[in-house]
Amino acid sequence: MINCIKLIPYATSVVVGLYLIKRYFAGGVCKCNTDLTGKTVIVTGGATGIGKEVALALAKKGAKVVITCRNQFERLSLEDKWLLNLEYLYLDLKSFNSIREFSQVIHDRFDSIYALVNNAAVFYQNFHWTEDDFESTFQTNYLGPFLLTHLLLDLIHASPDGGRIVNVTCEAHRYVRGLKPIYANLGYLSHSRFAAYAESKACLQLFSHKLSLSLTGTSVTVNDANPGNVRTALWKLYFNETYHPFLLKLYMPLHWLLSKSPVEGAQTPLHLVLSPDLRGVTGKYFSDCVERDPSPLCVNSKIAEGLWIQSLAWVNHRLQR
């Protein structure tokens, strides 16, 4: 009994230490109380994970939230109490036809869009080609959002309070040292699944950089949000495929300690949508609700211009076929 009593201070120190570590990796918190009543927000991939938490939080702020998803089953994961503020629409970013049809529906239904959150993404997927002849990760994570944003830009410009575009990216962009000038003509960037993901996110940030420059003098802003290392279905797939089952069991407690929940991961995208202090702030990269410096590659105007021109050619080529 005496020995147990002596261990209490050590046990307390361990618990406090673990709490502080967990709190540190949880990151920043969006504390904005902005009322979004009467405003329309689109969240791609908003039925699960980070997108779901972003959608729910914005609905609670009064926004009319349009959630895009690819199948009926994803819709079942959202709480019923906010369904009056939430609407589901089908969108598959791997299909230019689907993106165009979605854009037409939005134009028929709404006069303006306050915010577009390009959140939907795939990670660590096997390589395969889309119906538009692009590699799936590249089109889902970059070329699809590129087209979608252009098609909805007129409605975002029409927002009376200044429209906001939030591109959800990640720290993986820092692994990219260069981009192939032609991308093998089809958006095929790398033979590594992780590298393909990182490169697609770097392309998305280059898009944000170029778009912010083209929007100079307007009330529309575009910024990048890094949600951090979040425990979502995307990461579960990665860990299940790369770790031995025994090692996975050993690692998961550490992963829980050093990663974020979807609610915590949603804080930076929410900050970019809600913060009144960010009105007029554009072309920036945010992590834990604080502006950070991205990799030099992703703010290289020459590379961003080349990618922009090539992307327009890809998209226009497919639309004319």
Residue pair 178/297 in contact by the 8 Å Cβ criterion: yes
Say how far apart CA 222 and CA 189 lie, in whole Å.
25
Residue 24, H or E segment: helix 2-26
What does the block give as tokens for 135?
């590699």
Give the whole-angstrom CA distance, residue 36 versus residue 59.
8
Those residues whose C-beta lies under 8 Å from the C-beta of residue 263, and which sit 6 or more positions away, are 53
Query: Please, is 38 exposed, middle or buried when counting C-beta atoms within 10 Å of its C-beta (0-12, 13-18, 19+)?
Result: exposed
What pairing do the DSSP bridges indicate for beta strands 221-226 and 290-292? unpaired
Rounded alpha-carbon distances, angstroms, from residue 201 to 120, 137, 154, 198, 319 = 12, 10, 24, 5, 24
Task: Give the containing element (helix H, strand E) for 151.
Answer: helix 144-157
Burial class (CB in 10 A: 0-12, 13-18, 19+), 221: buried
| Tokens linked to 85 | 């503020």
Catalytic residue positions, numbered: 197
Distance separating alpha carbons of residues 255 and 164, to the nearest angstrom: 33
